[in-house]
Amino acid sequence: FTGSAFSSAAIWQYESLKSRVQTYFEEARADWMDKMRPQKRGDFRKQVNSWWNNLTEGQRTVTGIIAANVFVFCLWRLPGMRRIMFTYFTSNPSSRALCSPMLLSTFSHFSLFHMAANMYVLWSFSSSIVSLLGCEQFIAVYLSAGVISTFVSYVAKMATGRFEPSLGA
């Protein structure tokens, strides 16, 4: 999984760079058209765009991860989803589903405090780590760390004979 994650990140990084270069040249050619177009209206949209544009690249990257974690947290609160959540969003070496929970459990938090603390820490160091690695490599590190930590959890559970489900990275 880790090899695939980093290979995909390298391809994504290359394509992103290629797209930015193409966009730069297209914007240079079409710059005069921006002055001719009517401006879009809407205060809320302007506020959201202003907020988004003031974020660092790291904070924009982590916003997606935080949104995924919040979405999964909300799914835990739906009674009809409990069975699916326990099957695919908790890790347990005695479960019939072994591989997908290794990734999906990294987005699971059962406690609001646990999720809020983890997301705050992730937000706080996101700018520096993404500026160091790039957003593509950071996502590969995040996903790989989640899968590797779940694998270590599987090994520890097998060694101790405790087979209760767990969640989180």
DSSP 48-95: HHHHHHHS-HHHHHHHHHHHHHHHHHHHHT-GGGHHHHHHHSSB-TTS
How many domains would you assign to the chain? 1
pLDDT score, position 169: 61
Amino acid present at 153: S
pLDDT score, position 75: 92
Q: Is residue 2 part of a domain?
A: no
Q: Is residue 126 part of a domain?
A: yes
Q: Is residue 19 part of a domain?
A: no
Q: Is residue 5 part of a domain?
A: no
User: pLDDT digit string (tens) for 21-42?
Assistant: 887 777 666 655 555 565 556 6
